[in-house]
Structure 1
Amino acid sequence: MKIVGKQIFLIDGQSFYASIEKAAHPEYSDRPIAVGDPSRMNGIVLAACPLAKSQGVTTASRVGEALAICPELVVVRPRMHTYIQISLLISEIFESYTDLVEPFSIDEQFLDVTASQSYYGPPFEIARRIQEHVLMSTGVWTRVGIGPTKVLAKMAMDNFAKKTAEGVFELSFDRLDSTLWQLPVKSMFMVGSAMNRHFARMGIRQIGDIASMELSEFKRRMRWEMGKQSDIQAEYYWQTARGIDPSPVMREIRQPLKSVGHGKALRWTLYGRLCDIETVLLELVIEVCQRTRRHRYMGSAVCVSASETDGTRTRSFSRQMKLQHPTALTHEVAAAAHQLFIKYWNGRPLSHLSVTLSDLTDDDVLQLTLFDNRSRAYDRERAIDLIKGRYGSTAIMRASSLLEGAIAHERSEQIGGHYK
């Protein structure tokens, strides 16, 4: 077989969480299913099966709203650990067809199947084999976007494969004028609502409007709309419209950490008192410092971000300060985080709070001080880390985590803010 050019897949699991729950609950095969917390009517729907979507249930809608729209809806509590395990299983399936597999999200992965064609046939045949393999192994139906570059594979999946019965679509360079370029510009990868408004003011309605322009002309228009600093954005969008993407499918995508952060969405009606907020702030700092130590880093800057509301007015702030010396000690980061929060908090209840440690350096050199035994403090915190690593994050806790506003117990049962 003569192989010409790259053949790259972007494979997406349809309604991933909901599909896993349907496979686990055959009694719900003919029922609309949504994944969310059934005990929180104000919580969001994380995923909805196609049947639920056909009845008006959408991802990110409120659970209570979804039940009002679709009274027969079955709301299933999320199981994040299970979803991660199945995502890893799907990765193993992909790796049986090609060694070039790059995760894009928990339910999306890139595959370079260029060399696999010699063993498994043309791209459409490989796609169908993979679809059947994943469906039989996990109960998840997958959609496959095919293209000569990663960005074309992604846009083929998002804009076309999801809308076809077979769930497979190819975007090739010689068909862009009759396919991709006919779509509204908001359908282009990485064009959000704000960028779409910029393009509308520039008279750009379709992706083809960008692709048909010379780069110099597009840069000129972008500068007029967005300023001189827009040249890099202009080049990116111009290349994306033409399907140009030199980035390869990478087996190893881990990059050195640049920052470590943790955040928590809060029920604003419960977090109006400073004492409750301070408890959460400390618990987030504990998580940030523990993770920073685990990766053998220290940070030189701490950032606190928060959203406050009284139910009608909403305000957010994000403020950063440099630390006296690099650290991953809880008491040092907590003191800086508390100082930042007190300085910029307006006193309204919080709906979100996060802490980030950045400007990371290796922890092989520790700055000593005259009045604190920082070396002993590190030994103590690393001993606590070992206990938590062996027996769980709640094996040893601060007394403040037993207070009413504490979230440590709840977070110990969650992954990414959702139940394991």
Structure 2
Amino acid sequence: MTERNILLVDMESFYASVEKSTAPHLRNQPVIVSGDPERRSGIVLAACPIAKQFGVKNAEQLWEAQIKCPNAIILRPHMQQYINVSVMITELLEQYTDLVEPFSIDEQFLDITGSTKLFGAPEVIAKKIQSSIRSKTGIYARVGIGPNKVLAKMACDHFAKKNTSGIYELNFSNLKQDLWPLPVGKLFGVGKRMEKHLNRMGISTIGGLAVHPITLLKKRWGINGELLQRTANGIDPSPVTVNTHDQQKAIGHNMTLPYDYSTFEDIKVILLELSEEVARRARFKHYIGHTVSVSIRGADFNFISGFHRQQKLDSPTHFGMDIFNAAVELFQQHWDGQPVRSIGITLSQLQSDRYYQLNLFELHQKKENLSKVFDEIHTKYGPASLLHASSLTKAGQANHRAEKIGGHYK
């Protein structure tokens, strides 16, 4: 079997880099892209390398970043622009292979196994990609190279980003020497909680996990324990595929509220807005779902409160009011009465909406016709063109969110 050649291409400080590429006067300035602090979403989304030299980190509070780097230029995100640049980069990468898999807005996998005879060795292709992206967008890309996706990803994250060339290859010949000495928390798929569990078992490095008795790992975590050890040994058979995101497992929407909501009447407005948004997205992708989930996070960070609960529906749906009624029921059952900071609603156990079981006790066709009219109006005139009256109250956020993509300004 021919060994694969996989690349993971990562754009450095993507949001900040896009902003700098369109504003040359910012080139030598510390730039931070952040949410809106006035609406309590002042989180650092991206910091350029200059800002990072002052200790600024992604995902920290904006006020903390400003203490570290008081001269930083703070910019609101422009999500549509970032999406456009990401699509442009995908199209550029497709010039080297037809196997391009977006992993996130700023990371993409490529399988160049069949491209080396045409474009050269993997490192040569990586350099060409760097040069092409830099000349077309002004953005610097780092590239991890490996025989599979997981090694390419870790090559990029742990080595290419620190390498002067921005390119690094991690394979089975240097795995033990380079990867195994790293802390086990650096392994792809290991979060902070899992890292603590592994540390309690005496496993502190990736190499320690790689050689730990598999029976003990499987006894503790079942198949996931074996998967972690396979990852530590650089084993990953998953292919680079262009249709990774075609089949979704769930459609959800989460909102961090501009202030703490403490009354059911106000919270109900947000539940309705989120339910309608989830329903619209499900209809757009031609899904219906069997299960509705509600996630609530409390306002007090010192006293953890909130819940995540789900409810199986009598029949699958993609109608807003069906989702809303289930969400309200879940909320009333599990809310402890404490102020709420964020709310999320998810529709899961999805299936195609082209085939469904008829229910004699539901006016399915009437709902379908009504939803079709709503969707046509929203498509033609925008998401704020037709709203529930409750969204016009102080608690409503639909008008404000219509100006955004993914919770951030377009």
Tell me which of 334, 352, 356 is aligned to 2:346.
Answer: 356
Residue 310 (structure 1) shift:
4.2
CA shift digits 1:64-113 (9 cap, x unpaired): 22112211000111011110110111111111111111111111111111
CA shift digits 1:191-239 (9 cap, x unpaired): 11112112212222222223335xxx2222552xx3xxx2312211121
Tell me which of 34, 37, 53 is aligned to 1:36.
Answer: 34
Structure 1 pair 113–346 and aligned structure 2 pair: CA distance change class (3 A)? same
Which stretch shows the higher mean deviation, 144-153 or 295-304? 295-304
Alignment of 1:142-291 (within 5 A): 142-213=141-212, 217-221=213-217, 223=219, 226=220, 230-269=221-260, 271-291=261-281
Alignment of 1:351-390 (within 5 A): 351-363=341-353, 364-365=355-356, 367-370=358-361, 373-390=363-380
TM-score, scaled to structure 2: 0.94
Cα contact 1:98–1:111 (8 A) shared by 2 = yes
Look up the equivalent residue of 1:207 and give its one-letter code. Answer: I
Residue 151 (structure 1) shift:
0.8
Which stretch shows the higher mean deviation, 139-148 or 198-207? 198-207
Q: Kindly report the root-mean-square deviation, in angstroms, between the aligned alpha carbons of the 2 structures.
A: 1.9
SS in 2 for 1:58: coil
Look up the equivalent residue of 1:254 and give its one-letter code. Answer: H
Residue 297 (structure 1) shift:
3.0
Partners of 2:125 and 2:351 in 1: how far apart? 45
Structure 1 pair 120–339 and aligned structure 2 pair: CA distance change class (3 A)? same
Which stretch shows the higher mean deviation, 102-111 or 410-419? 410-419
Partners of 2:185 and 2:359 in 1: how far apart? 54
Structure 1 pair 39–246 and aligned structure 2 pair: CA distance change class (3 A)? closer
Q: Which residue of 1 aligns with 2:96?
A: 97
Q: Which residue of 2 aligns with 1:295?
A: 285
1:16 has 2:14 as partner: yes
TM-score, scaled to structure 1: 0.92
Partners of 1:358 and 1:28 in 2: how far apart? 43
Cα contact 1:299–1:358 (8 A) shared by 2 = yes
Residue 44 (structure 1) shift:
0.2
SS in 1 for 2:25: helix
Alignment of 1:50-89 (within 5 A): 50-89=49-88
Aligned residues: 408
SS in 2 for 1:182: coil
1:45 has 2:44 as partner: yes
SS in 1 for 2:269: helix
Q: Which residue of 1 aligns with 2:404?
A: 414
Residue 48 (structure 1) shift:
0.1
Tell me which of 319, 323, 330 is aligned to 1:329.
Answer: 319
Identical-pair percentage: 42
Residue 366 (structure 1) shift:
5.8
Alignment of 1:336-351 (within 5 A): 336-351=326-341
Structure 1 pair 37–208 and aligned structure 2 pair: CA distance change class (3 A)? closer
Residue 258 (structure 1) shift:
3.0
CA shift digits 1:166-190 (9 cap, x unpaired): 1011112111121112222121111
Structure 1 pair 221–357 and aligned structure 2 pair: CA distance change class (3 A)? closer
SS in 1 for 2:347: strand
Cα contact 1:134–1:142 (8 A) shared by 2 = yes
Residue 63 (structure 1) shift:
1.3
Partners of 2:372 and 2:129 in 1: how far apart? 45
Residue 32 (structure 1) shift:
0.2
Look up the equivalent residue of 1:115 and give its one-letter code. Answer: G
SS in 2 for 1:397: coil
Structure 1 pair 137–343 and aligned structure 2 pair: CA distance change class (3 A)? same
Structure 1 pair 169–257 and aligned structure 2 pair: CA distance change class (3 A)? closer
Residue 129 (structure 1) shift:
1.0
Cα contact 1:38–1:63 (8 A) shared by 2 = no
Partners of 1:326 and 1:120 in 2: how far apart? 49
Tell me which of 290, 315, 319 is aligned to 2:309.
Answer: 319
Partners of 1:218 and 1:204 in 2: how far apart? 13
Partners of 2:280 and 2:264 in 1: how far apart? 24
Cα contact 1:23–1:138 (8 A) shared by 2 = yes
Cα contact 1:211–1:238 (8 A) shared by 2 = yes
Look up the equivalent residue of 1:397 and give its one-letter code. Answer: L
SS in 2 for 1:46: strand
Q: Which residue of 1 aligns with 2:112?
A: 113
Residue segments in structure 1 that go unaligned for 5+ positions in a row: none
Partners of 1:178 and 1:330 in 2: how far apart? 54
Structure 1 pair 402–189 and aligned structure 2 pair: CA distance change class (3 A)? same
SS in 2 for 1:284: helix
Residue segments in structure 2 that go unaligned for 5+ positions in a row: none
CA shift digits 1:297-318 (9 cap, x unpaired): 3333222111123464231211
Cα contact 2:35–2:41 (8 A) shared by 1 = no
Cα contact 1:14–1:143 (8 A) shared by 2 = yes
Residue 38 (structure 1) shift:
5.5
Cα contact 1:210–1:218 (8 A) shared by 2 = no
CA shift digits 1:272-319 (9 cap, x unpaired): 122211111100111112222223333332221111234642312112
SS in 1 for 2:305: strand
Which stretch shows the higher mean deviation, 291-300 or 122-131? 291-300
